[in-house]
Amino acid sequence: MKARKWILAKHFEGVPKDSDLELVEEELPSLKDGEVLFEAEYLSVDPYMRPYSRALSPGSVMYGEQLARVIESKNEKYALGAHYLVRAGWRDRIVIDPDTPGGALGVSSVHSAIDTGSHPASLNIGILGMPGISAYIGLIKICDPKPGETVYVNSAAGIVGSVVGQIAKIKGCKVIGSAGTDEKCKWLTTELGFDYAFNYKTRDLNEALKESAPNGVDCFFDNVGDSLSTAIIVQHMNKYGRISCCGAISQYNDTTPPTGQLLYSPFVFKELKMQGFLFPSYAKHHQAMLVDLRKWVIEGKLKYHEDVVEGFENMREAFYGMLSGKYTGKVVVKATQATKLPAAL
Amino acid sequence: MKARKWILAKHFEGVPKDSDLELVEEELPSLKDGEVLFEAEYLSVDPYMRPYSRALSPGSVMYGEQLARVIESKNEKYALGAHYLVRAGWRDRIVIDPDTPGGALGVSSVHSAIDTGSHPASLNIGILGMPGISAYIGLIKICDPKPGETVYVNSAAGIVGSVVGQIAKIKGCKVIGSAGTDEKCKWLTTELGFDYAFNYKTRDLNEALKESAPNGVDCFFDNVGDSLSTAIIVQHMNKYGRISCCGAISQYNDTTPPTGQLLYSPFVFKELKMQGFLFPSYAKHHQAMLVDLRKWVIEGKLKYHEDVVEGFENMREAFYGMLSGKYTGKVVVKATQATKLPAAL
């Protein structure tokens, strides 16, 4: 059977170019005992893929996770048609022995998908997957916001930011978000219940925060790591403020590290805490967080929007678009090569 | 009775000038019921006085703490000759009602001095006072170093840095320090038991850390907040590294805030934690920390050096010298105006 994969032809330098990623076809081997043929249904594109790709040798398959279906199995634990989350990289089909642990990002390569009920199964790679759990970790484990506190999140209309803001509302906080278009801002306030949202491209950050957070910011969930992030830390954080560093998307395309000096004085005098985190380090909490996230989704307290890009061949376009802020909420790539299974399934 | 005080004539701009601080004489009032006349024995000069002075109105007495003696009392709780720590600012004598709580830095204005045994009473404003406790807070409460981990501290020959390094040794860590002269570095390794010390003015930081910490730094206790601090965070911290921001002495003389961008990527990908702290916020832990510090001093596990400047009139010189790195360990000003008390005492 044929399969396709996206390989990193060259390390990204600055803004990613089309020639950096290459779509390649391959012939899959026939299955040995214990092996399973997974076929992608939904594939995720996430910001972390940009910096993590630096660790790949050119010619390697891009990092990534997918919601996949078993379409052939020589392992009795994996039934035909069953759904799994597979850390298989950017591939539309793969033959692996799923019981061999490990994986490029240090988590199990294959684990069961959760039942999303009346919601799309693709939530497994979105609000009920790594991005949703990351929002939960960074907000609850690092910022630990108290009712009545003010939470600010940037890239707020992205999947992580949108979950951060909504969990903060569930926790009784005042929530401010910024995003790159007026439409996204409108979605944040009218659909997701943010108290305030502003377009960072057209509004002055200091004015927007003076207006929306006259008493300062207690928790800052940072997805961006840009000069606006610095301005918030230096000028708007309250005493004992907490800053959660989830991502630094603004710095991922830099070819040289930003120069300049950390601005230590506010850390000392306001006793700020800034802490980064990565999803795998909180593995023992993932299941409990997922229970909460699923409950909130079912109760309608946690809303989501998915932008669906059709076709495995469009992963590169989806990835580059996501990095440039093209989408609202979670962007997923829907693989359209679906193999028909016997009717009995 | 006459008294002297140092007032902030003008806010410091850039490097402090002699004309910024002015020595003034005043006549003390006679004591009312409940009041006590304290006379300074040892006065502290500390880096925090530089940035905190910004909150003073010109003409105000400089912030500060002193070890003082009761030389006249209309309050039966305060016996003639007894020693107290008094947050009286830069004054050689003061009349106050010590039972009125409050104080410029949010801690009690007057509290009992501890018995330093065969050690100088001035330790009350040094290793057994705010600086020693600050070292303890930042290292233990923020960095929480584990045996075998590598701890790096800058301004290591200052009172805070020298205590940080020695506590880290007590906790079983490998300890690296930097200081501004070869003599200070020698003191750190030969007297205080640091594993490695280097002169940051003559050695390349990256080379020195590659040599001394080839496996990276787990805990960084930062007193300085300069470009070298940034280099350590960006290049030398290990995964899950902790950075304690105790001070930013390098930025205290800046007339404009440093520009540039926080370097977020290492925070995300190494899951670093950076946290500032101030002494008063840990008030409920001070006593327990003091018990440990005192025990270690008595056992000889915690060594100290005091540079003593004689004469209240030389406080400005001591302060400016301390800010420029002139002293080793703790600098204290010894007031030399000692009033004779009746022989019976």
* A283-298 vs A159-170: helix crossing angle, rounded to 10: 70
What value, to the nearest 5°, has the Cα angle with vertex A180 and ends A176 and A181?
100
Residue B153 tokens, joined: 């501290």
Over 50: is that where the pLDDT of B59 sits?
yes
Inter-chain touch A258–B261, beta carbons under 8 Å: yes
A117 part of contact set with chain B, CB < 8 Å: no
* Cα first-last separation, chain B: 20
What kind of fold does domain B2-126+305-334 have according to CATH? Quinone Oxidoreductase; Chain A, domain 1 (3.90.180)
Distance CA B39, CA B265 (A): 53
Lowest mean pLDDT among B29-33, B66-70, B108-112: B108-112
Residue B263 Cα, gap to closest chain A Cα (Å): 7
**Pick among 3.20.20.140, 3.40.50.720, 3.40.1180.10, 3.40.225.10: CATH of A130-281:** 3.40.50.720
Question: How much is the average pLDDT of B243-260?
Answer: 75
pLDDT > 90: percent of chain B:
77
Distance CA B296, CA B303 (A): 9
- Predicted local confidence at residue A260, as pLDDT: 56
**pLDDT-derived band at B257, boundaries 50, 70, 90:** low
Q: Where are the beta strands (DSSP E) in A154-297?
A: 174-179, 196-199, 217-222, 237-245, 273-276
Q: Which residues contact B30 (CB under 8 A, 6 or more apart)?
A: none
Q: How is chain B split into domains, by residue range?
A: 2-126+305-334, 130-281
Nearest to B276 among A51, A251, A271 (CB): A271
Inter-chain touch A247–B230, beta carbons under 8 Å: no
Question: How much is the average pLDDT of A112-131?
Answer: 94
Inter-chain touch A278–B271, beta carbons under 8 Å: yes
Inter-chain touch A265–B230, beta carbons under 8 Å: no
Residue B85 Cα, gap to closest chain A Cα (Å): 23
Q: Which residues contact B239 (CB under 8 A, 6 or more apart)?
A: B270, B271
Question: How much is the average pLDDT of A87-94?
Answer: 93
A255 part of contact set with chain B, CB < 8 Å: no
A262 part of contact set with chain B, CB < 8 Å: yes
Q: Hey, what amino acid is at A254?
A: D
The answer to whether B125 and B153 are in contact (CB under 8 A) is no
- Predicted local confidence at residue A106, as pLDDT: 38
- Predicted local confidence at residue B191, as pLDDT: 97
B233 part of contact set with chain A, CB < 8 Å: yes
Residue B254 Cα, gap to closest chain A Cα (Å): 11
Taking CB atoms and an 8 Å cutoff, what residues of chain A touch B242?
none
If one counts every other C-beta atom within 10 angstroms of the C-beta of residue A241, the result is 26
Inter-chain touch A230–B51, beta carbons under 8 Å: no
Over 50: is that where the pLDDT of A318 sits?
yes
Is A130-281 in the same CATH topology as A2-126+305-334?
no
Per-residue pLDDT tens digits for B263-311: 788 899 899 999 999 999 999 999 999 999 999 999 999 999 999 999 9
Over 90: is that where the pLDDT of A282 sits?
yes
Of A99 and A296, the one with more pLDDT: A296
The residue written with tokens 């390349």 in the block is: B204
Helix (H) or strand (E) holding A152: strand A150-153
Distance CA B266, CA B271 (A): 7
The SS3 of residue A249 is helix
C-alpha torsion angle, residues B288, B289, B292, B296 (rounded to 10) = -160
Residue A344 DSSP code:
T
Q: Which value does ipTM take for this structure?
A: 0.88
Prediction pTM value: 0.90
- Predicted local confidence at residue B321, as pLDDT: 96
pLDDT > 70: percent of chain B:
94
Taking CB atoms and an 8 Å cutoff, what residues of chain A touch B259?
260
A336 part of contact set with chain B, CB < 8 Å: no
